[in-house]
Structure 1
Amino acid sequence: MADDHEQEEFFHIRKMVLELDRLVKNGDIHSLKNPVAQPDYWRKRIKVLLATPAISASIARRAAALLAQLDRIADALKKSR
């Protein structure tokens, strides 16, 4: 089972990906100039989380779903530029 740090990290990443998705859906791409607001930044953080040896299967599945969501966000950003 994932320890508290891994769970906290997952929920932080999830919150930020949801916020990124909201910004993109609202067309607020000017807010996305910061490197932390880029899908690649969060993709890297998720990959580090997934590399944790004791990560739970549940968090691993949910993290994989966030990676798919980041792919959709990145596609939407490319289309909006």
Structure 2
Amino acid sequence: MSEEQVSNDPLHGKTLAFIMEQLVERYGWDELARRIRINCFAINPSIKSSLTFLRKTPWARQKVENLYNRTKW
């Protein structure tokens, strides 16, 4: 991609860790667990354990990315 081109991907340049930190700050773990039914959000949640799970589980990562894209910042 040249300097003149701009990515249309809203997640371009955002790491999964950044996305998770933003969502936890915005919603908190309880609300995240309510919005996305993933045990690592509901049981002893942490950014580290969530990242480990999300990196291995494409469907869960997609749900997190979709929530991030739908959130009005």
Same fold per superposition (TM over 0.5) = no
Taking CA–CA contacts closer than 8 Å with sequence separation of 6 or more, which of the two structures ends up with the larger relative contact order? 1
Measured against the shorter chain, the TM-score band is: under 0.3
Which has a greater percent of helix? Answer: 1
TM-score normalised to the size of structure 2? Answer: 0.27
TM-score normalised to the size of structure 1? Answer: 0.25
